[in-house]
């Protein structure tokens, strides 16, 4: 069980989520000490168990996404399965669910019912479009949220169709908002003497909230931000360049003093001293010229030497890291961003480390994602079911 030194120790979280958004939110809670009980269907469980690269039939992603969680199988189409869930929720602190709006209501588990059952319960609801509005009943994955929320429109090159980011970023951002909302609700409950409440997170709004100055720029100037590839219009220079050995590097030299040091470091004192380039607005007017200069310099220097020049000049820069690059990088290693764990057959493997770093009450990974229903008997026993009761529930298909 979670150790009491973690900041969320003592909290009981029930997860009714599948795939990414809900499970990622509860994973964060589990890493920082909450007891997370993941309720899964007895018929195969979370589909994430079979997503992407499988090891001995189980997704490697699963072992990370479900770490520190307990797996309880319940058939929510069975009346006794619903009764078990209600007993779990009666003393829970947080319920995290990412069903389509209305699903829990059809099961007799809507907010009014749950709030009456447990007035202190915080209910985190993650869905494509939220619990209200004309689109609330439509299905919506993270990709749809990224499209509607504005991210896909601005991602890619101006002369090509929009592209996706390499991960399911919409789901993960929504999960973060869900955790933030849950902690706010707990703060209200515990410090202000309030009751539990609903945290309603829509995937498209989770992305929309990250869109920086998009709204006022359109409202005031009628300006629509478009795809711009690797550069950042209005913030110059900041882009990706290619070294002499064909490696890619991000260089961010858009600060006034940084730009001057950068130009001096690459032998362009004339540009460093040019008064029209002393501030960002002047540099942005000549960005094509500046990017051509930087491109020519980058193509003449191998990556390691290029990074050394930039580091010596204190210019923010980084190679574009692959997973292979990360595994041997001193910064990743010093920050313990790879945790050693074991797969069920004992094979060692690495998992991503814990974020954020807390100095006094850090999170940790105690065990990897469990087998389906691994904790069913234990948890039912804690709820007061004896061995004959559990056997009966199994025979009836409730668990």
Q: Active-site positions?
A: 171
Tokens coding 24: 């990622």
Contact 56, 349 (CB under 8 A): no
**Bridge partners, residue 202, by sequence:** 127
Concatenate the DSSP letters of all residues of 79-97 into one string.
HHHHHHHHHHHTT-SEEEE
- Burial profile 133-164: b = 16 or more Cβ within 10 angstroms, e = fewer: eebbeeebbbbbbbbbbbbbbebbeeeeeeeb
How far apart CA 354 and CA 85 sit, in angstroms, is: 30
Q: How many CB atoms lie within 10 A of CB 261?
A: 17
Compute the radius of gyration of the chain from its Cα atoms: 25
Concatenate the DSSP letters of all residues of 234-254 into one string.
TS-SEEEEE-TTS-EEEEE--
Q: Nearest 5°: CA angle at 270, between 265 and 274?
A: 115
């Amino acid at each position: 069980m979670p150790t009491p030194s973690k900041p969320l120790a003592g909290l009981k979280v029930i997860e009714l989520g599948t795939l990414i958004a809900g499970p990622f939110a509860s994973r964060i809670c589990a890493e920082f000490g909450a007891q997370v009980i993941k309720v899964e269907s007895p018929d195969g469980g979370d589909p994430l168990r079979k997503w992407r690269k499988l090891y001995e039939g189980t997704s490697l992603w699963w072992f990370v996404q479900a770490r520190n969680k307990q797996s309880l199988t319940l058939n929510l189409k069975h009346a006794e399965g619903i009764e078990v869930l209600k007993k779990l929720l009666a003393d829970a602190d947080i319920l995290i669910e990412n069903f389509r709006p209305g699903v829990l209501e059809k099961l007799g588990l809507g907010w009014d019912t749950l709030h009456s059952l447990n007035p202190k319960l915080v209910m985190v609801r993650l869905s494509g479009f939220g619990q209200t509005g004309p689109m609330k009943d439509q299905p919506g994955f993270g990709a749809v949220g990224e499209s509607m929320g504005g991210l896909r429109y601005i991602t890619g090159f101006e002369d090509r169709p929009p592209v996706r980011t390499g991960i399911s970023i919409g789901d993960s951002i929504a999960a973060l908002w869900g955790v933030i909302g849950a902690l706010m609700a707990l703060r209200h409950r515990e410090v202000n003497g309030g009751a539990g409440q609903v945290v309603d997170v829509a995937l498209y709004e989770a992305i929309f909230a990250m869109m920086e100055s998009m709204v006022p720029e359109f409202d005031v100037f009628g300006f629509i931000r478009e795809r711009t590839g690797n550069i950042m219009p209005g913030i110059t220079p900041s882009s990706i360049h290619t070294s002499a050995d064909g490696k890619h590097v991000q260089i961010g030299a858009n600060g006034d003093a940084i730009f001057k040091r950068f130009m001096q470091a690459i032998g362009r004192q004339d540009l460093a001293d040019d008064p029209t380039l002393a501030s960002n607005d002047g540099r942005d007017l000549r960005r094509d010229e500046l990017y051509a200069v930087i491109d020519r310099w980058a193509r003449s220097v191998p990556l390691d030497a290029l990074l050394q020049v930039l580091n010596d000049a204190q210019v923010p820069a980084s190679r574009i890291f692959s997973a292979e690059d990360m595994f041997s990088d001193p910064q990743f290693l010093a920050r313990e961003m790879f945790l050693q764990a074991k797969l069920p057959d004992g094979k060692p493997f690495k998992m991503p480390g814990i974020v954020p770093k807390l100095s006094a009450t850090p999170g940790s990974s105690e065990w990897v994602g469990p087998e389906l229903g691994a904790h069913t008997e234990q948890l039912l026993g804690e709820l007061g079911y004896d061995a004959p009761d559990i056997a009966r529930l199994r025979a009836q298909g409730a668990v």
